[in-house]
Amino acid sequence: MRYGFAGQLLRVNLTDSIYKVEELDEKELRKYMGCSGYAAKLLYQEMPGGTDPLSPEAKVVIATGAVSGTLCPSGGSYEVCYKSPLTGTWNQARSGGGFGPKLKYAGFDFLVIEGRAADPVYIFINDGKVEIKPAKHLWGKNVEDTTDIIIRELDDPEVSVAAIGQAGENGVLYSALINDRGRAAARGGIGAVFGSKNLKAVVVRGSRGIKVGNPKQFVEAIEKAEQWLKNYLFAAIPALGTVNMMVPNSTLGILPTKNFQKAHFENVDKVSGELINEKYNIKRRACYGCSFACGRYTHVNGGKFATPPMEGPEYETVDMLGPLCGIDEIEAIIKGNYLCNVYGLDTISAGMSIAFAMECYEKGLLTDEDTEGLPLRWGDAEVMLKLLEKIAHREGIGAFLAQGVKRMAEKLGPAAEEAAIHVKGLELAAHEPRSESKSLALQYAVSPRGACHMHPNWASVWDFQIDCGMKEFGLPSWPAGPQEESLKRSLAYRYVVLQGEITEILGGCIFFSWGAEGNCITPQLYAEIVSALTGWNVTAAELLTAAERSWNLKRCFNAREGFTRKEDRLPKRIYNAIPDGPSAGARVENLDLMLDGYYEAMGWDKQTGLPTPEKLRELGLEFAIN
């Protein structure tokens, strides 16, 4: 490997406390482009179907891509890929910050973690050298304290620490990995997987560079990207952060409220992004090399919800810990975000689990005896904070909530089904599929990790009538509106998927890919960047094929675990009309029609919803044919 990549994979076996370094095969890497695409190949080929995700046999791949750690404006990402203990499906959890670039600078594009340590450990990767260090003294510490201790021990504030908190140690099924203190690889329970391996953290120090194939062309391509991004269509994201979406989404009737019983929140002004930016924001924060800086660093300076400075909250967190639970106290939401970060919890699943419990309490499905006298009433901010503490430590009712919505509903019986808002066990995010876009409904149903709003793309992007560079490949003309349920939407979603997957397999941030030629990083511009970076002469069509290969392989991973069309369903509530507000009456009516069209567009079997042998041969995935 000469250009664009570090060229090596690091494999650490915690059972035997050994590691080895493997040279990457350039031809094979190019086939998948890297990052989550290559990770899908590794996990499919190395981890048999049916593997218990919390067993020593389970593997984790931490992956970077071609643009990670380069001058490319979206190059601050990494992906953690694994089998989710929450859903039993393929999972990838993206995070930003500086961890991914530093892993690459340390000499490795991929880290594969195997086995289970006898006692708690952490992995220290230091410019090509690897140590498996004892971590008994860190077990029981939160993420913040763990990070502080490791930095003192190594006497280097520049190392990047990705650690779990008490939630991961205690096996909370939606626990997260937190890097650089406040950046979360959150969804699906990677924290519990780390905890099952007695792995407290991975720490990287990297000072090596990445060789560029054609530096002059690379700089020209990056300068073009920076110029185009000056015309970015969603300028409010860098200017105000994702929290700016609170008020507009409520006004449009697309803000999930009270466990998706409503889609607008009367007191949204009390939890608005404007309020956060005006009163609680300390400064903006950016991932490595990012010119957007959409992150926020906030605190609450006194009062009963006093909170130290911490990354966030993002839009998803504000809605999930706020309106979704009927809560309008922004200081409590900021504190809840802090607790999730230090304990290592996914704020989306945590908020959804609390909202589910509140609805079940209201309906008498959970009693005071179940909750040890804690009244789970809508809008009670102090109860929300107490529940986060209990979930992280699996104390009392917290142990019940730590299982996630699907398992809780199964234990409470059929009467709880109406309130169980998840797909394949992954709770829905803060995007309402009935009124925001029917493409979102389709994505929730078919996404390999369950009800996901962002992997591989924000499904609603087509409804904004921006092509993201996909028109030349066949993206259809615009929909009549977000409510349209049609075969045209199914076909369009195929292109939305593949455009997003291109960003993922390159290790980029999807925010930079929304727009059109002249105002975002299109696949065509990515091809220019990657060609100059690697010297491969990559075309946009080649990126599209690699993306399709990756997407199909993730579907095959789930098929091996028993997931077919019959699991591509939406929660019962989503088929009911939104009862009131700006989007009253909106509902999903014909998911099956959209599924038929999507499977056909992908070249999959409409009966099973799985890739056909012909499609897999076309993509060079013969090893995945059963």
Tens digit of pLDDT for each residue in 355-410?
999 999 999 999 999 999 999 999 999 999 999 999 999 999 999 999 999 999 99
**Residue in the structure block whose two tokens are 């959150």:** 186
Listing DSSP states for 198-215 in one string gives TEEEEEEE-------S-H
φ, ψ for residue 562 (rounded to 5)? Answer: 100, 10
CA 533, CA 4: separation in Å to the nearest integer? 5
Listing DSSP states for 483-526 in one string gives T--SHHHHHHHHHHHHHHHHHHHHT--GGGGSS-TTTS--HHHH
Are 167 and 343 in contact by the 8 Å Cβ rule? The answer is yes
Are 348 and 452 in contact by the 8 Å Cβ rule? The answer is no
Per-chain mean pLDDT for the chain: 96
- Which amino acid is present at 278? E
Mean pLDDT of 180-202: 97
pLDDT confidence band for 486 (50 / 70 / 90): very high
Listing DSSP states for 305-367 in one string gives T-EEEEEB--HHHHHHHTGGGT---HHHHHHHHHHHHHHTB-HHHHHHHHHHHHHHHHTTSS-
Q: What is the dihedral of CA 536, 495, 514, 581, to 10 degrees?
A: -160
| Per-residue model confidence as pLDDT tens digits over 46-67 | 999 999 999 999 999 999 999 9
pLDDT of residue 291: 83
pLDDT of residue 495: 97
Q: Which helix (H) or strand (E) holds 183?
A: strand 183-185
Going by C-alpha positions, the residue among 354, 392, 346 that lies closest to residue 371 is 354
What is the model's pTM?
Answer: 0.97
In this structure, what token pair is assigned to residue 180?
């650089």
Are 385 and 340 in contact by the 8 Å Cβ rule? The answer is no
β-pair partners for 204:
125, 160
Going by C-alpha positions, the residue among 591, 584, 365 that lies closest to residue 493 is 591
DSSP 578: P
CA 491, CA 231: separation in Å to the nearest integer? 28
Residue 217 burial (CB count, 10 A): 16
Are 249 and 242 in contact by the 8 Å Cβ rule? The answer is no
Biggest CA-to-CA distance, the chain: 69
CA 141, CA 408: separation in Å to the nearest integer? 28
Listing DSSP states for 369-381 in one string gives TTTTT----TT-H
In this structure, what token pair is assigned to residue 452?
């996901």
pLDDT of residue 2: 82
Whether a cis peptide bond, with omega within 30° of 0, leads into 101 is no
β-pair partners for 78:
95
CA 340, CA 392: separation in Å to the nearest integer? 8
In this structure, what token pair is assigned to residue 258?
């009270």
CA 191, CA 254: separation in Å to the nearest integer? 30
For the cut 90, the answer to whether the pLDDT of residue 175 exceeds it is yes
CA 82, CA 561: separation in Å to the nearest integer? 13
| Per-residue model confidence as pLDDT tens digits over 208-260 | 999 999 999 999 999 999 999 999 999 888 888 999 999 999 999 999 999 99
pLDDT of residue 74: 86
pLDDT of residue 236: 86
Mean pLDDT of 137-154: 98
Are 112 and 12 in contact by the 8 Å Cβ rule? The answer is yes
Residue 134: strand, helix, or coil: strand
pLDDT confidence band for 1 (50 / 70 / 90): low
Distances (CA, A) of 355 to 29, 265, 348, 374, 561: 43, 15, 11, 14, 29
Residues in the chain: 626
pLDDT of residue 466: 93
| Per-residue model confidence as pLDDT tens digits over 276-329 | 999 999 999 899 988 888 898 999 999 999 999 999 999 999 999 999 999 999
Q: What angle do CA 257, 260, 262 make, to 5 degrees?
A: 55
pLDDT confidence band for 263 (50 / 70 / 90): very high
DSSP 53: T
- Our separate counts of H helices and E strands in the chain read 22, 17
Mean pLDDT of 191-219: 97
pLDDT confidence band for 626 (50 / 70 / 90): confident
pLDDT of residue 350: 98
CA 548, CA 37: separation in Å to the nearest integer? 9
In this structure, what token pair is assigned to residue 236?
């409010």
| Per-residue model confidence as pLDDT tens digits over 508-565 | 999 999 999 999 999 999 999 999 999 999 999 999 999 999 999 999 999 999 999 9
Listing DSSP states for 101-117 in one string gives HHHHHTT-SEEEEES--
Instruction: Report the chain's terminal Cα–Cα distance, integer Å.
Output: 33
- Which amino acid is present at 596? D
Q: What is the dihedral of CA 162, 64, 81, 385, to 10 degrees?
A: 40
Mean pLDDT of 488-505: 97
For the cut 90, the answer to whether the pLDDT of residue 119 exceeds it is yes
